[in-house]
C-alpha cells in the first residue's frame, strides 16, 4: 500500500488523477472502475483536463461504476447513472455505450448483479479502480460486516451512510434504503486501486483502514492485501495516522 499525504484536496485530485492516467495510458481498451460521491470529483476534473489537453484519450475505454441505489430512476439527478454521466462520461469524453452502472431498477437484482460481473469480466477486468471511503469504512456500498469474498450484490444501507448521503436529497425519507454494489471480492480483483480521502470526518476510517487489523468491521481494511493500491490523502484525512511520518508527504 502506497500512502501519499497532500497539502489540500486540490492536490489530492491532481496526484490521484496522474496515477490513474499512468495506468490507463498505452492500453488499447483500458477499463476504469468508477466511484461516485464527493471524494473523486477533483480527480475526475483533472482527468478531464488531461483529456482536453490531448494527454489522455479515453474514447475506447470501458467504465464500470461501483454502485447504484436500488429503486431510484436512472433519470433522477442523484441516481449514479445520472451522476456518472454528468461527472465522468461527458467530461472525460468516454463512449456512453461503454460506461455501465449497476441496474438498481432491475426486477431481478440477483440476475442484474451476475450480468454486471460478467460484463466486467468480458471487458478484461478493471485496470484501475477509483475509490472513496465512507466514514464507517465502507468501499463501494460494502458496509461493515460484508464478506470479504463478496461479488456484486444488493445491500441495505446503514443509517450512517444514509445520513452521510442525505445532503444529496431534499429530505431523509427520499434517501434510498438499499443499493446494488460491486462486492469486496470484485474490488480486490482490480489490477490497481486508487483511493482518495479528504477532510477530518474521514480520519478515523483512514487510520483504521491503513493501520488497523484487517477485519470485516472495517471493510476498507481488506485493501491492505491489494497488490497495487495507492491511497492519496489530504492533511486532515491523514491526521489520525500514528505512522504518518513514515509516508510520503508532498
Instruction: Give 30 or 134: the residue with its C-beta nearer to ligand F6R.
Output: 134
Please report whether residue 132 would count as binding ligand F6R according to CB under 6 A: yes
Q: Which of 136, 142, 165, 226 is flagged as catalytic?
A: 136
Choose one: 105-113, 126-134, 145-153, 227-235; the region binding ligand F6R (CB under 6 A): 126-134
Please report whether residue 36 would count as binding ligand F6R according to CB under 6 A: yes
Identify whether 136 is a catalytic site residue.
yes
Instruction: Give 24 or 66: the residue with its C-beta nearer to ligand F6R.
Output: 66
Identify whether 165 is a catalytic site residue.
no
Please report whether residue 37 would count as binding ligand F6R according to CB under 6 A: yes
Least distance (Å) between residue 63 CB and ligand F6R: 12
Please report whether residue 35 would count as binding ligand F6R according to CB under 6 A: yes
The single residue among 66, 184, 187, 193 that binds ligand F6R, judged by CB under 6 A, is 66
Instruction: Give 88 or 133: the residue with its C-beta nearer to ligand F6R.
Output: 133
The single residue among 21, 39, 42, 87 that binds ligand F6R, judged by CB under 6 A, is 39
Please report whether residue 102 would count as binding ligand F6R according to CB under 6 A: no
DSSP-derived secondary structure for the chain: -EEEEESSHHHHHHHHHHHHHHHHTT-SS-EEEE--SSTTHHHHHHHHHHHHTTS---TT-EEEESEEETT--TTSTTSHHHHHIIIIITTTT--GGGEE---TT-S-HHHHHHHHHHHHHHTT--SEEEE---TTS-BTTB-TT--TT--SEEEEPPHHHHHHHGGGSSSGGGS-SEEEE--HHHHHTSSEEEEEE-SGGGHHHHHHHHHS---TTSGGGGGGG-SSEEEEEETTTTTT-TTGGGSEE-
Tell me which residue has cell 478531464.
48
| Dist CA 73 CA 56 (whole Å) | 32
Which residues between 196 and 235 bind ligand F6R (CB under 6 A)? none
Sheet of strand 178-181: strand arrangement: 67-69, 178-181, 153-156
Choose one: 2-10, 12-20, 138-146, 185-193; the region binding ligand F6R (CB under 6 A): 138-146
Least distance (Å) between residue 54 CB and ligand F6R: 29
Identify whether 143 is a catalytic site residue.
yes
Please report whether residue 160 would count as binding ligand F6R according to CB under 6 A: no
Please report whether residue 140 would count as binding ligand F6R according to CB under 6 A: yes
Least distance (Å) between residue 55 CB and ligand F6R: 25
Identify whether 52 is a catalytic site residue.
no
8 Å CB contact between 247 and 5: yes
Amino acid at each position: 500500500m502506497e500512502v501519499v499525504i497532500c497539502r489540500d484536496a486540490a492536490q489530492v485530485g491532481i496526484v490521484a488523477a496522474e496515477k490513474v492516467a499512468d495506468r490507463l495510458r498505452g492500453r488499447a481498451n483500458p477499463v476504469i472502475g468508477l466511484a461516485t460521491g464527493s471524494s473523486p470529483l477533483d480527480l475526475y476534473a483533472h482527468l478531464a483536463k488531461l483529456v482536453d489537453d490531448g494527454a489522455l484519450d479515453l474514447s475506447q475505454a470501458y467504465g464500470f461504476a461501483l454502485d447504484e441505489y436500488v429503486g431510484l430512476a436512472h433519470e433522477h439527478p442523484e441516481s449514479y447513472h445520472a451522476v456518472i454521466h454528468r461527472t465522468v462520461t461527458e467530461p472525460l469524453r468516454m463512449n456512453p455505450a461503454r460506461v455501465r452502472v449497476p441496474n438498481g431498477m432491475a426486477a431481478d437484482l440477483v440476475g442484474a448483479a451476475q450480468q454486471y460481473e460478467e460484463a466486467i469480466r468480458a471487458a478484461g477486468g478493471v485496470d484501475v479502480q477509483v475509490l472513496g471511503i465512507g466514514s464507517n469504512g465502507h468501499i463501494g456500498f460494502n458496509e461493515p460486516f460484508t464478506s470479504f469474498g463478496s461479488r456484486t450484490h444488493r445491500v441495505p444501507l446503514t443509517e450512517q451512510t444514509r445520513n452521510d448521503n442525505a445532503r444529496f436529497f431534499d429530505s431523509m425519507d427520499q434517501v434510498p434504503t438499499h443499493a446494488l454494489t460491486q462486492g469486496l471480492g470484485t474490488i480486490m480483483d482490480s489490477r490497481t486501486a486508487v483511493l482518495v480521502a479528504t477532510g477530518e470526518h474521514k480520519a478515523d476510517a483512514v487510520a483504521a483502514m491503513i493501520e488497523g487489523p484487517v477485519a470485516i468491521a472495517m471493510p476498507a481494511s481488506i485493501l491492505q492485501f491489494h497488490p497495487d493500491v495507492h491511497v492519496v490523502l489530504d492533511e486532515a484525512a491523514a491526521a489520525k495516522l500514528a505512522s504518518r511520518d513514515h509516508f510520503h508527504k508532498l
